[in-house]
């Protein structure tokens, strides 16, 4: 029985938990194609974020950087928001660098397209 | 986090633990009578020294951490970042609070009870300076609570070692023995609390056995656990051997306590290393063994009896061996019985093992998305169908002329983990004589493309089973997708977790008697209404057709009921509808999140 219990414990492996902030989801969604240009970018991370040391950059298809304000936290402090200017049609790359409240830094990027 | 940060964090935490443990020891462990000088030494020498080191190392840690957070690479930059971090970040706030409390302790050292309480409070801030504080939510609260207990227990035990060392050397023998005995319950309680809370932390952060054996976080955790076991061994040695010799000579005991202190510091340093590491999903485990444990045999009617007999035989054999060791009278008989039982049972335990590969426990990054399934379907046609056949049955025209018959991919793909399939596709197969029977695709396909193929194989298997038998033999998850809703929001599968929903393929939501959110899957013509969201990406249509085993053109009117944990549960074709009784049952009883069950088999 003991062995079975042990085996069961090994089989029921806990899903490794989140630590270090990684992108959980985004709006507009990662890889999405949008009929309307979005007004705001919302990035939800797996950990609580330190806005002071976090940046969001937006690049157009030709590599030009779209000027954005400083990102701020939503009520849920795992969410970073930044307002967008009116975007022309085309493909955009979002590049994020965030520091989670446990001081660890992570980064990543994704794309979306405005039709 | 660099080596300096780790070292400073380690010294700071060790000094804090020493302060906490010393104050506790002076107040509650030292026995009454003839020890006033000892108590004074602890409260007015050891404690202030620990306090000073804790403050200095703590401040230095705050500075280096500020520099790291602000990416400053020189001293000027670090001191510029210091006020920003101290005043405007969580880490800074908690660290300032802690350093403030520590300064408050200095004038309180003559009021031991208050000093212990304040030190405990400063120490209890620890989880807020690491992973636990960053997680948030109820899981975060659980981690914070267990870490508070963990650090306080560690402080009470390890911090008491220096006072114990001093007491053994300086107190009269009898008093020294009494002191050691007084420390035993503290140590024992601390060990139990440490082990218990460590299990909680490991369950949340560790990633199970693959995480432990296959990631650098797991390796650091293994190092920490072995150091902890060493510490336990020394503590047991002190308690059961050296304490009796103490009356003759305290030297052995002192050496052993000094060893405990060193090991204790090593444990704290390894904890600092762990705090700097990235645990969990984002370090993908590389499985180091050629096999893994699997419960598949319990689910397989042919193997079940064998594995249960093997387990019973082995357990009985172990029992007999223990009986033989314990009772002299039955020794020979029990040992013979144990040998026979173990010889019969042990070899059959290989039923619990299945072949495994370095990638076995990789987690697919695709979320089983509709886009991924669709991409995999396209790749399958160009890369795999020539051997495995258009439907994957291993029946392509070329199959007969190949040295080894291509596998029927609808046979037992479901029994392999995603990571196993990844390995097969990436590395291919070689016959025993060395000829390549299936080429490895790692050189030609990207890792994403290989994951798309894995997703397609899974979806296609589910669809083939549905087409042939009218049901899915294994639970099938709903693919990830995006849908637009009437209020302008885009939702995905994660937004729908926790409630059942109905997928309808077509341009009109089919009415139904049961209540569930409706997601309309269409080819881009309908628009969302109040209670209907629309998934218009063509891949969602395509993936749904694969999963229900229908051709894309036959899909309109099909409905699928998805339960609150994201499992596909019921299908109805055009013109039919899902029975209301069955639907109510599914809505009320979602399959558990881990319903996929054990995987694995032998070829
Ligand atoms: Cu197989």
A7 in B contact zone (CB under 8 Å): yes
Q: Count how many domains chain A has.
A: 1
| % of chain B exceeding 90 in pLDDT | 43
- Give B439 Cα–ligand 1 centroid separation in angstroms: 16
One of 3.40.50.1820, 1.20.1250.20, 1.10.760.10, 2.30.29.30 is the CATH number of B370-469, namely 1.10.760.10
Which chain B residues are Cβ-neighbours of A1 within 8 angstroms? 315
CB nearest to B280's CB, from A17, A50, A78? A17
- pLDDT value for A18: 38
CATH of the domain at A72: 2.60.40.1220
A9 in B contact zone (CB under 8 Å): no
A78 min Cα distance to partner chain B (Å): 9
Average pLDDT over residues A28-51: 85
- pLDDT value for B34: 60
Average pLDDT over residues B98-127: 93
Which chain A residues are Cβ-neighbours of B295 within 8 angstroms? 7-8, 11
Tokens representing residue B548 in the block: 């229900």
- pLDDT value for B163: 95
Instruction: Give Dmax (Cα) for chain A.
Output: 65
A49 min Cα distance to partner chain B (Å): 8
What is the Cα–Cα distance from B6 to B275, expressed in whole angstroms?
A: 9
Top mean pLDDT of B51-55, B72-76, B394-398 is at B51-55
Flag if A3 and B295 touch (Cβ within 8 Å): no
CB nearest to B281's CB, from A18, A99, A100? A18
Task: List, in sequence order, every residue forming a beta bridge with A66; answer none if it has no partner.
Answer: A58
Flag if B206 and A103 touch (Cβ within 8 Å): no
DSSP-derived 3-state class of residue A45: strand
Flag if A10 and B211 touch (Cβ within 8 Å): no
- pLDDT value for A1: 27
Residue A6 lies in a domain: no
- Give B406 Cα–ligand 1 centroid separation in angstroms: 12
Instruction: List the single residue in B with minimal CA-CA distance to A20.
Output: B278
Query: By C-alpha distance, which of A24, A18, A46 is closest to B143?
Result: A18
Flag if A50 and B90 touch (Cβ within 8 Å): yes
**pLDDT tens digits along B145-154:** 999 999 999 9
Residue A34 lies in a domain: yes
| Angle made by CA atoms B211, A18, B449, in degrees to the nearest 5 | 75
Residue A1 lies in a domain: no
Residue A102 lies in a domain: yes
**pLDDT tens digits along B2-29:** 788 899 999 999 999 999 999 999 988 8
- pLDDT value for B411: 81
Residue B562 has pLDDT above 70, yes or no: yes
A interface mutation test: which of B82, B128, B134 has the most A CBs within 10 A? B134
Q: How many A/B residue pairs have CB atoms within 8 Å?
A: 121
Confidence category of residue B281, pLDDT binned at 50, 70, 90: very low
Residue A78 lies in a domain: yes
Side-chain-side CA neighbours of residue B409 (13 Å): 27
Tell me which residue range forms the domain holding A88: 16-114
Give the 3-state DSSP-derived string for B39-85, with helices as H, strands as E and coil as C.
HHHHHHHHHHHHHHHHHHHHHHHHHHHHHHHCCCCCHHHHHHHHHHH
Give the single-character DSSP code of B34. S
Which chain A residues are Cβ-neighbours of B1 within 8 angstroms? 103-104
Confidence category of residue A21, pLDDT binned at 50, 70, 90: low
- Give B283 Cα–ligand 1 centroid separation in angstroms: 27
- pLDDT value for B489: 78
What is the Cα–Cα distance from B436 to B346, expressed in whole angstroms?
A: 35
End-to-end CA distance of chain A: 61
Flag if A7 and B352 touch (Cβ within 8 Å): yes
Residue A2 lies in a domain: no
Confidence category of residue A4, pLDDT binned at 50, 70, 90: very low
Residue A93 lies in a domain: yes
Please say whether the beta carbons of B62 and B95 come within 8 A: yes
What is the Cα–Cα distance from B216 to B219, expressed in whole angstroms?
A: 5
B597 min Cα distance to partner chain A (Å): 9
**pLDDT tens digits along B453-490:** 999 999 999 999 999 999 998 889 999 988 888 877 77
Which chain B residues are Cβ-neighbours of A22 within 8 angstroms? 281-282
> Judging by DSSP bridges, how do beta strands B291-293 and A79-83 pair with one another?
unpaired
Q: DSSP readout, B238-295?
A: IIIIIHHHTTT-SHHHHHHHHHHHHHHHHHHHHHHHHHHS--GGGS-----SSEEE--
The ipTM (two decimal places) reads: 0.78
DSSP-derived 3-state class of residue B419: helix
Query: By C-alpha distance, which of B393, B406, B404, B451 is closest to B425?
Result: B451
Average pLDDT over residues B28-36: 79
Lowest mean pLDDT among B202-206, B287-291, B561-565: B202-206
Flag if B203 and A19 touch (Cβ within 8 Å): no
CA distance to B334, B407, B440, per residue, from B399 (Å): 57, 10, 18
Flag if B482 and A20 touch (Cβ within 8 Å): no
Ion ligand 1 contact residues with beta carbon within 5 A: B 412
Placement of tokens 């729908």 in the chain: B496
Helix (H) or strand (E) holding B559: strand B559-562
Which is it for the CA torsion B527, B533, B536, B538, positive or negative?
negative
Residue A7 has pLDDT above 50, yes or no: no
- pLDDT value for A15: 32
Query: By C-alpha distance, which of A80, A78, A16 is closest to A46?
Result: A78
Which CATH code for domain B476-588?
Answer: 3.40.30.10
- Give B515 Cα–ligand 1 centroid separation in angstroms: 41
A24 min Cα distance to partner chain B (Å): 10
CA distance to B39, B95, B125, B568, per residue, from B42 (Å): 5, 26, 24, 66
- pLDDT value for B598: 62
B431 min Cα distance to partner chain A (Å): 31
Query: By C-alpha distance, which of B234, B233, B225 is closest to B252?
Result: B234
Which chain B residues are Cβ-neighbours of A77 within 8 angstroms? 136
What is the Cα–Cα distance from B402 to B428, expressed in whole angstroms?
A: 15
What is the Cα–Cα distance from B64 to B276, expressed in whole angstroms?
A: 13
DSSP-derived 3-state class of residue B560: strand
Placement of tokens 């620890």 in the chain: B126
- pLDDT value for A3: 32
Average pLDDT over residues B539-558: 93
Placement of tokens 């409070």 in the chain: B121
**pLDDT tens digits along B567-590:** 999 999 888 888 888 899 999 999
B207 min Cα distance to partner chain A (Å): 4
What is the Cα–Cα distance from B113 to B119, expressed in whole angstroms?
A: 10
Average pLDDT taken over every residue of chain B: 88
- Backbone dihedral angles phi then psi of residue A79, each to the nearest 5 degrees: -115, 125
CB nearest to B482's CB, from A13, A29, A53? A29
Which chain B residues are Cβ-neighbours of A102 within 8 angstroms? 91, 129-131, 133-134, 275
Who contacts B391 (Cβ-Cβ below 8 Å, separation ≥6)?
B410, B460, B464
Q: How many residues does chain B have?
A: 603
Lowest mean pLDDT among A7-16, B153-162, B176-185: A7-16
- Give B346 Cα–ligand 1 centroid separation in angstroms: 25
B interface mutation test: which of A12, A17, A21, A52 has the most B CBs within 10 A? A17
Residue B167 has pLDDT above 60, yes or no: yes
Which chain B residues are Cβ-neighbours of A100 within 8 angstroms? 134
Give the single-character DSSP code of B536. -
Residue A38 lies in a domain: yes
Flag if B89 and A31 touch (Cβ within 8 Å): no
Flag if A101 and B89 touch (Cβ within 8 Å): yes
Confidence category of residue A26, pLDDT binned at 50, 70, 90: confident
Average pLDDT over residues A78-100: 92
What is the Cα–Cα distance from B478 to B517, expressed in whole angstroms?
A: 15
Q: How many residues does chain A have?
A: 115
What is the Cα–Cα distance from A70 to A65, expressed in whole angstroms?
A: 14
């Amino acid at each position: 029985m003991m062995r079975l219990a042990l085996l069961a414990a090994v089989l029921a492996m806990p899903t490794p938990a989140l630590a270090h902030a990684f992108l959980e989801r985004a709006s507009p969604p990662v890889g999405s194609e949008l009929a309307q240009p979005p007004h705001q970018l919302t990035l939800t991370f797996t950990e609580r974020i330190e806005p002071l040391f976090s940046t969001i950059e937006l690049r157009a298809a030709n590599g030009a950087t779209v000027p954005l304000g400083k990102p701020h936290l939503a009520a849920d402090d795992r969410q970073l928001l930044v307002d967008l200017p009116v975007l022309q049609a085309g493909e955009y790359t979002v590049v994020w660098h965030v520091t989670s409240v446990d001081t660890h830094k992570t980064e990543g990027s994704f794309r979306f397209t405005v039709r | 986090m660099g080596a300096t940060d780790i070292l400073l964090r380690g010294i700071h935490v060790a000094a804090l633990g020493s302060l906490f443990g010393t104050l506790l020891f002076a107040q509650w462990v030292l026995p009454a009578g003839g020890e006033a000088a000892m108590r004074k030494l602890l409260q007015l020498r050891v404690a202030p020294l620990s306090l000073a080191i804790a403050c200095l190392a703590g401040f230095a840690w705050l500075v280096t951490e500020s520099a790291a957070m602000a990416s400053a690479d020189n001293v000027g930059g670090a001191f510029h970042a210091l006020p920003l971090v101290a005043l405007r970040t969580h880490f800074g706030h908690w660290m300032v609070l802690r350093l403030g409390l520590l300064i408050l302790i200095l004038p309180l050292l003559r009021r031991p009870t208050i000093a212990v309480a304040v030190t405990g409070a400063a120490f209890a801030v620890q989880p807020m300076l690491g992973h636990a504080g960053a997680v948030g939510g109820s899981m975060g609260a659980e981690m914070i609570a267990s870490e508070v207990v963990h650090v306080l227990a560690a402080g009470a035990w390890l911090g008491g070692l220096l006072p114990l060392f001093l007491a053994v050397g300086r107190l009269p023998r009898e008093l020294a023995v009494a002191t050691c005995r007084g420390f035993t319950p503290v140590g024992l309680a601390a060990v139990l609390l440490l082990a218990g809370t460590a299990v909680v932390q490991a369950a949340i952060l560790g990633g199970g056995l693959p995480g432990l054996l296959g990631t650098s976080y797991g390796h650091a955790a293994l190092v920490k656990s072995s150091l902890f076991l060493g510490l336990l061994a020394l503590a047991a040695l002190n308690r059961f051997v050296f304490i009796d010799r103490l009356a003759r000579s305290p030297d052995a005991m002192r050496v052993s306590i000094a060893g405990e202190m060193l090991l204790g510091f090593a444990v704290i340093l390894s904890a600092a290393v762990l705090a700097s590491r990235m645990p969990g999903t984002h370090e993908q485990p590389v499985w180091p063994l050629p096999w893994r444990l699997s419960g598949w045999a319990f689910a397989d009617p042919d193997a079940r009896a064998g594995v249960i007999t093997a387990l019973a035989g082995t357990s009985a054999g172990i029992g007999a061996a223990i009986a033989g060791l314990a009772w002299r009278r039955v020794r020979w008989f029990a040992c013979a019985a144990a040998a026979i039982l173990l010889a019969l049972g042990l070899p059959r335990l290989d039923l619990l093992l299945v072949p495994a590969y370095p990638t076995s426990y990789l987690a697919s990054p695709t979320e089983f998305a509709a886009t991924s399934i669709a991409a995999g379907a396209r790749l399958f046609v160009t890369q795999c169908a020539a051997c495995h056949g258009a439907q994957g049955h291993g029946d392509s025209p070329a199959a007969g002329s190949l040295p080894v018959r291509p596998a029927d991919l609808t046979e037992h793909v479901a029994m392999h983990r995603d990571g196993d399939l990844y390995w097969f596709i990436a590395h291919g197969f070689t016959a025993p004589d060395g000829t390549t029977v299936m080429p490895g695709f790692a050189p030609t396909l990207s890792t994403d493309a290989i994951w798309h193929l894995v997703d397609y194989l899974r979806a296609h298997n589910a669809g083939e089973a549905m087409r042939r038998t009218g049901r899915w033999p294994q639970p099938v998850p709903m693919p990830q997708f995006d849908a637009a809703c009437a209020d302008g929001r885009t939702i995905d599968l994660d937004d729908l977790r926790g409630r059942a929903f109905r997928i309808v393929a077509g341009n009109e939501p089919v009415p139904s008697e049961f209540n569930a959110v409706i997601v309309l899957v269409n080819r881009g013509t309908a628009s969302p209404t109040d209670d209907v969201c629309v998934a218009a990406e063509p891949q969602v249509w395509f993936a749904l057709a694969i999963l229900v085993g229908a051709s894309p053109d036959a899909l309109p009117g099909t409905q699928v009921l998805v339960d609150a944990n994201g499992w596909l549960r019921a299908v109805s074709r055009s013109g039919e509808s899902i029975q209301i009784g069955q639907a109510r049952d599914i809505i009320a009883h979602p399959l558990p999140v881990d319903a996929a069950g054990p995987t694995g088999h032998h070829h």
